[in-house]
A and B are shown apart, each in its own frame.
Chain A
C-alpha cells in the first residue's frame, strides 16, 4: 500500500488549461480563506469567538477549485470545517465574521456560529456539526433538483472521517440509483479528528469506493486548485448531462489540529512539513502575475479588516427578542 501520508504528485494536467480569470478568482478565494482563518484564530485567542472552530488552513484549494467550477445557482453542502466553502461560494465576509463572533447581524443572527453557518443567497445549504450528516442532505438537494427539473448541481463537501459513516455509503448509492447531479467532494486531510486515515479505512484510496456503487471515483491533489477545478468541471458537466454523480477524493493535509485548541501533536511532522512545502496558497500564487496577486491581496486584506470591524461593532442578539420568538413553543 502506498504511503498515504506523503504528498501526492502534482496535477497531471500539464498544459495551462485554466484561463487567467478563473485563476484569479480561485486565488482570491484561497487567499481570503487563509487570511480569514488566521484572523479567526487571533479572535479566538482574544475570546471573541467561542465554542468550536475548525480551521480550513491547508485545505483552501479544494473549496476554491470546486466552487469555481459551479455557478451561484448551484448548491453546496459544507462541513464543520466549513469557512472555506462558505467564502468560495461567495459569502460576504462581514456577515460571516459577524456570525462567527455571534452577533445579530450574522448570516444566522448569531444562532448558528461557525459550525452551522449557511448563506441562502449563495445557495450554500450550510455547515454541519455532525460529521457526515451533510452527505444525505446534499443528495436530497440533488433529488429536489430532479423533481424540479432544473439543471443545477450540488457539491457535497465531506471528509475522510465522514466517508466511514454509514450515510456516505447509503447516499452515494442513492445518487447512483437515481443518477442525481451530485459531486461528492471527499476532502481527505488524512485525519478523522486525531485518527489517521490508515487506522480508520480498510482501503486508504477512498476514491475506490465510487466504482463499488457504480460511480466514477477520481483521486486528485487537493492542494492544486487548478486540478481541483478541472476535475470538478468535468464532474459538473457530467452531472448536467444527466449522467449522475462523481466521487472526487482530493488529498490534502491539515496545517494544524482538529480544532483551534488542538495542537495536533499526534500528526506526522514529516508529512506535515512536506505538505506545507506545497502550500495551496503558494502553489496558486506562482501561477498568477505579481500585479494581480498584489491587487487581490490588498483587496482581501481590506475586506477581512472590514469584516472584523463590522463584527466587533455589531450588536449582540437581544435576549428579550429571542425569548419572545420561542414563547409559543
Chain B
C-alpha cells in the first residue's frame, strides 16, 4: 500500500493502460507538455510521445468527434474535456454519435472511448466552471457514467473504463484531486457498475457519489457519536446503476437519504428515489429524502457558492429527520 493523491492515482491508471495497450492514447487541451490543468496527464508525453499524447486546439466538438472516429477504427482514445461545463459543446458527438453508434449499426461497430472531465463547485469559479452535469449523461441510453470519490476507486475505475468497449463519461471532481488515499502497489481494476459501501450501518442508507461521499462520511461519523449508524453507499458508477446494492442496503435499514451536489431538479437522486419507491416500497419505513444542490447557477462569491451545495451540517440534520 502506498498513499496517493486522487490525481496521482488517475495518472498511474493512464500510465499502466498506455503501457499495456499501444492503442490507448490521450488527447485534450494542454495535456501533453503542460500535463493537464490538474496534472493528471503529467509525464505521459515523455514516455509515449506526441503520437499518443496529443494537445488539441480549443475545439471540443471536433476533437471529441475525432475520439469517436478513432474509437470506431479500433483505437482506445481517452479524451479530456477540461471542465464538464464545456461538454455542452460536444453533446452531438456524445449523445447522437458515441452513445448510439453500436445500437444503430446493429452491433457492427463499437465506440470504446473514455471522456474524462471534471466538475463541481468549490473554487470560486462561478457559473460556467462549477456545474455538476452528470444527469445529462445519465439520461442517455448507451453511455456509462463514472464518478469516483477516492484515489483507490479513481485508479481502478479509470482502468476499467479504458478497457470497456462502450463510451464512458468519467467525471472527476476538482476538490478531489489533492485528496489522498491508500492504493495497493499491485495492479487492480474496479469493475464498472458496482457501488461500494464506504461505511456500513444499520439505521439509514445514505446514497451518494463523488465529492459528496467525503461529506457524507464526515456526517456519518458525527452521527455515530449520537448512536445513529448510517450506511454510506458510494455509487461510484451512476450508469449502469448498482440497484442490487442499493436495494439490499435499503431492505436492511428501511430508510434512505440521497445526497448529491448537482441541482435537485431532475437530478440523478430523483431517479434513484423513484426506483426505490417502485422496487423497495415495502421495505421503506418512511419517505426517501433528497439533499441536493440548490436549483441555481453557481455564484462566484465563496460564501454564496457554499450555500448552493449540501454541507455536512445539512446532511446530519437531514438524516435525523428520517429516523
Contacts and interface: CB of A to CB of B under 8 A. Distances in A.
Contact of A119 (B25, B72, B75, B108): B108
Nearest to A120: B108
A140 to B, nearest CB: 2
A148 B23 contact: yes
Nearest to B59: A170
Contacts of A177: 57
A108 B73 contact: no
A130 B106 contact: no
Interface string A73-115: 0010100000000000000000000000000001111111000
Contact of B107 (A75, A109, A173): A109
B198 to A, nearest CB: 25
Nearest to A180: B66
Chain A interface extent, by class? 35 or more
Nearest to B95: A130
Interface string A165-205: 01100110110011000000000000000000000000000
Nearest to B79: A140
Given A147-B25, A171-B65, A108 B105 contact: yes
Given A140-B69, A147-B75, A108 B108 contact: yes
Given A133-B92, A139-B65, A75 B105 contact: no
B25 to A, nearest CB: 5
A173 B54 CA distance: 15
Interface string A111-146: 110001011100001101110010111111111111
Contacts of A320: none
B57 A170 contact: yes
B130 interface: no
Contacts of A119: 108
Interface string A300-329: 000000000000000000000000001011
Contacts of B107: 109
Contacts of B106: 106-112
B68 interface: yes
Interface in B62-114: 62-75, 77, 92-93, 96-97, 101, 103-109
A167 B69 contact: no
Contacts of B70: 140-141, 143-144, 147
B7 interface: no
A10 to B, nearest CB: 35
Given A75-B73, A174-B59, A174-B62, A137 B68 contact: yes
A249 to B, nearest CB: 20
A112 B104 contact: yes
A141 B61 CA distance: 15
Nearest to B108: A120
B251 to A, nearest CB: 21
Contacts of A166: 61
Contacts of A173: 57, 59, 62
A118 B66 contact: no
B109 A118 contact: yes
Contacts of B61: 136, 166-167, 170
Contacts of A171: 62, 65-66
Interface residues of B, number: 39
A174 B63 contact: yes
A182 to B, nearest CB: 10
A107 B65 CA distance: 23
Contact of A108 (B66, B104, B141, B240): B104
Contacts of A139: 62, 65-66, 69
Contacts of A147: 23, 25, 51-52, 70, 75
B108 A140 contact: no
A86 B213 CA distance: 50
Nearest to B73: A144
B56 interface: yes
Contacts of B108: 107-108, 118-120
B105 A112 contact: yes
A63 to B, nearest CB: 19
Contact of A174 (B52, B66, B75, B93): B66
B104 A111 contact: yes
A323 to B, nearest CB: 13
A167 B91 CA distance: 12
A170 B62 CA distance: 6
Contact of B105 (A120, A135, A136, A167): A120
B95 to A, nearest CB: 10
Given A108-B106, A112-B105, A147-B25, A137 B74 contact: no
Contact of A136 (B27, B57, B64): B64
A174 B74 CA distance: 20
B224 to A, nearest CB: 36
B65 A133 contact: yes
A274 B56 CA distance: 45
A37 B73 CA distance: 29
Contacts of B75: 144, 147-148
A112 B103 CA distance: 8
A208 B131 CA distance: 40
From A133, A136, A146, name the one whose CB has the most chain B CB atoms within 10 angstroms: A136
A126 B65 contact: no
A116 B68 CA distance: 15
A148 B240 CA distance: 31
20 contacts: A75-B73, A107-B105, A108-B105, A108-B106, A112-B104, A118-B109, A120-B108, A136-B68, A136-B69, A137-B66, A137-B68, A137-B69, A140-B66, A141-B72, A147-B23, A147-B51, A148-B23, A148-B75, A167-B62, A329-B141
Given A109-B106, A174-B62, 18 more contacts: A108-B108, A118-B105, A130-B92, A136-B61, A136-B63, A136-B65, A136-B93, A137-B66, A140-B71, A141-B69, A144-B71, A145-B73, A170-B62, A170-B63, A173-B62, A178-B54, A328-B240, A329-B141
**4 tightest Cβ-Cβ pairs between the two chains A and B:** A140-B69, A136-B65, A140-B66, A170-B62
